Amino acid sequence: MYFVVKRFRFFVEPLPAVVLAGIFSILFASLSFAQRLEQLDAQRQQQASAHQARIDREQQTPDQQSGLFNELAATDQLGGRRSYVHGEKPCFEIRNVQLDGQHAYRFASTLASITGGRDRGRGLASPIGLCLGAQSIQTLAVRLQDLLIEQGYVTTRVLVAPQDISNGNLTLTVVPGTISALRRTDTSDIRAHFWNAIPISDGDFLNLRDLEQGLENLRRLPSVQADIDIGPGQLPGQSELLINWNQSKPLRVFASVDDAGNKATGKYQAALTVAADHIFTLNDIFYVSDSRTLGNTKNQRRRAGSSGFHYSIPWGYWQLAFNTNRFRYHQLIAASIRPYVYSGESRSTDLTLSRVVWRDNRRKTQMYLKGWERRSYNYIDGTELELQRRRTAGWELGLNHREYLSRATLDVAVAYRRGTGARGAMAAPEEQTGEGTSRFRLVTGSLSLAVPFRIGQQAFRYYGTLRAQWNSTRLVALDQFAIGGRYTVRGFDGEQVLMGERGWAWRNELAMPLQVGVLVGQELYLGLDVGRVGGPASRYLAGNSLAGAVLGIRGQLGKYVNYELFAGKPLHKPETFKTARIASGFSMSIAY
């Protein structure tokens, strides 16, 4: 063959066919390799979502909020009356209200909310400058005690001692309710230990918020049944806490099978989790898990799996949790000359310290600080692709808030995530082209609303979740926001996803519990989801939004088996976005 440049002719010897075939094989393999990297990044995100769902399931703790001690927490002692008795005789103009009693200073801010007028909108007007008689003064004392009970001080009493108030100075006496002892009942398990779970000790003020926190720490173990009773102490104002704690079995086994994988590494997956509760008698949770693709798919051409480890321990209002997860994959890729094996693994580890910073009978707020590390390695025929090696680390600061709105429950979460140079972090390969960085900065947020309601005799439940991500730096694929699949926008099979540096996904679900015969315990649901991605990485996408619908049923079979079946359909997608016309799926689990 020959080619011409200007007026000169160059002669080139024909290349052997096998060399040409090898060149084209390498070119096509490179394209295939790039596509598989994108697929694996998407699958890693799905694996991370599945791993997080497993953590959430294991750490699910029933909130001990309003209603825990209803018989003690009734705060409307005024019978709906929120005003003083006018025209009362005799009366005295009140110029100052002060508290007396041991540790009375701790309740000064509560009194100030009344005397400063901040309680007027929902309670009692400020007494300063008013002419009050005996009944009105008693009304003031009862209102102050109501506020203390709302704050959890259910055994603290406010009294009006005999005094001369002709000078305008009124003194209210506070008798704080304290704890004389914490002890377990005679029927409790001998392994019951609660010194690190209950954030109060002998001599402390009795506060319901502390008991609720302690009960959450005790009941966080699925194998434990725990209750706290308040009994009278030896002295007036003192109470004993009687803790009843029993554990059915320290070990739990959870096995599941689903079709949440993809064609690249195997569609069907099985997982096994073994958990140990209270293993060090510290109300701690420990579990190990392992998942892998099922079946010998084409002589092991495709397979993937993951393993995880979790340990967490409470300490009053604090909690320390450690997680590590490993994802591995193996693919046999057909090529023109010979097949090659593309494999790899990624590891993620995090340590989280969290604290409940506020709780009352309607809300709870928790803050946390997390340190994390992530590593990944890719190989072809056992030889590492060093240019694709990744090692990143950083920290995350977040806030979780739960609010009870009548029968509805609102959950809000926001977090700031930052990549740093800690733990020997390496620069991302994308930094050479400006398409990503290991020193990234991003903000994530979520909003969830659960509303049970009835239409006639039929119960329904609405559950909606809005997740979003904002970035201030370019992000590598693994940190980007992805939509399309059972964990994000349903109605899509998850073989392809849309990804961008920022985005949002809104999931809506209307569920109807079945209440007839053998169908009791099952639930039909209809879902409608929509999502959108943005940022520089989304410029090359055929579109940036998805919408889909799903219809499914979930429930429990017997005592140990849970299942879910669903079928979804895309409602909106880019024209070239490939997905199944009907995206169906299942999951089944056995817990023992």
Q: Cis peptide leading into 90, omega within 30 of 0?
A: yes
Phi-psi map region of 466: left, alpha, beta (phi>0 left; psi -120 to 50 alpha): beta
Residues in the chain: 592
Both 217 and 142 in one domain: the answer is no
pLDDT band at residue 330 using 50, 70 and 90 as cut-offs: confident
Both 444 and 590 in one domain: the answer is yes
Both 443 and 588 in one domain: the answer is yes
Q: Is residue 425 part of a domain?
A: no
Both 272 and 381 in one domain: the answer is yes
Q: What is the pTM of this model?
A: 0.83
Tell me how far apart the alpha carbons of residues 389 and 457 are, in angstroms, rounded to a whole number: 59
Helix axes 134-150, 108-115, angle to 10 degrees: 130
Task: Name the CA radius of gyration of the chain, rounded.
Answer: 31
Work out how many domains the chain is built from and give that number: 4
Both 44 and 32 in one domain: the answer is yes
Which structural domain range is residue 201 located in?
178-247
Phi-psi map region of 424: left, alpha, beta (phi>0 left; psi -120 to 50 alpha): left
Both 290 and 164 in one domain: the answer is no
17-50: pLDDT as tens digits: 433 344 334 334 444 444 555 555 555 556 556 6
Residue 70 has pLDDT above 70, yes or no: no
At which of 175, 208, 236 does a domain end? Answer: 175
Q: Is residue 398 part of a domain?
A: no
What one-letter code names the amino acid at 282?
L
Both 463 and 581 in one domain: the answer is yes
CATH number for the domain including 589?
2.40.160.50
Using an 8 Å Cβ cutoff, are 308 and 324 in contact?
yes
Query: Which has more confidence, 5 or 384?
Result: 384
CA 90 to chain CA centroid, Å, is 59
Q: What is the mean pLDDT of the chain?
A: 84
Both 442 and 572 in one domain: the answer is yes
CATH number for the domain including 187?
3.10.20.310
225-281: pLDDT as tens digits: 999 999 998 888 899 999 999 999 899 999 999 998 887 777 889 999 999 999 999
Both 505 and 592 in one domain: the answer is yes
At which of 159, 175, 191 does a domain end? Answer: 175
Both 210 and 263 in one domain: the answer is no
Both 474 and 591 in one domain: the answer is yes
Tell me how far apart the alpha carbons of residues 445 and 355 are, in angstroms, rounded to a whole number: 19
Confidence at residue 14, expressed as pLDDT on a 0 to 100 scale? 42
Q: Is residue 215 part of a domain?
A: yes
CB-count burial class (<10 Å; 0-12, 13-18, 19+) for 394: buried
* Choice among 114-123, 178-187, 454-463, 488-497 with the minimum mean pLDDT: 114-123
What one-letter code names the amino acid at 193?
H
Q: Is residue 147 part of a domain?
A: yes
Both 334 and 271 in one domain: the answer is yes
Residue 125 has pLDDT above 80, yes or no: yes
Residue 16 has pLDDT above 60, yes or no: no
At which of 127, 154, 175 does a domain end? Answer: 175
Nearest to 230, CA basis, from 68, 352, 421, 111: 68
Residue 64 has pLDDT above 60, yes or no: no
Using an 8 Å Cβ cutoff, are 208 and 214 in contact?
no
Q: Is residue 449 part of a domain?
A: yes
Strands of the sheet with 178-184, listed across from one edge: 178-184, 238-247, 224-232
